[in-house]
Amino acid sequence: MAYDEHLADRIRQQLAQRHQPYQEKRMMGGLCFLVDDKMCMGVSEDRLMARADPEDYARLLTLPGARPMDFTGRPLKGFLFVEPEGLDRDQDLSAWVQCCLDFNPRAKRSARRRTKPS
């Protein structure tokens, strides 16, 4: 599945402006940005995948373009999709990037999968 390279570049610029170290990893059908080895945000098709504080989830869903993130028909707790109309202005994207970065220190790391010895 392809993802919007322009949106990925905009996120890279936002992270660079904040001097935020990050890694990129292709996963979840798109491109994810990891901060401190934790999924922080990403791009899936033409929308932002945002990882945010579950306590703010209901409020964030009221923002333009925001909707629950669901790949399997069941929303993932604390994850949202933000459609392009909620990201058109740089200040809107900046607010979402900051929201994700603010939650990142409290986010739990995914359990690392062990590889089977050969």
Q: Which of 48, 83, 80, 47 is nearest to 65 (CA)?
A: 83
Domains and CATH numbers, the chain: 5-106 (3.90.1150.30)
Q: Which amino acid is at 93?
A: L
How far apart, in whole angstroms, are the C-alpha atoms of residue 19 and residue 67? 29
Residue corresponding to tokens 């933000």: 82
* pLDDT greater than 90 at residue 110: no
67-74 LR contacts (CB < 8 Å, sep 24+): 71/28, 71/29
Which residues are paired to 31 by β-bridges?
Answer: 26, 43
pLDDT at 15: 98
State the pLDDT confidence band at 2, using cuts at 50, 70 and 90.
Answer: confident
pLDDT at 18: 97
* pLDDT greater than 90 at residue 113: no
* pLDDT greater than 70 at residue 115: no
Chain segment 49-75, per-residue pLDDT in tens: 999 999 999 999 999 999 999 877 788
How far apart, in whole angstroms, are the C-alpha atoms of residue 99 and residue 82? 12
Q: Which amino acid is at 89?
A: R
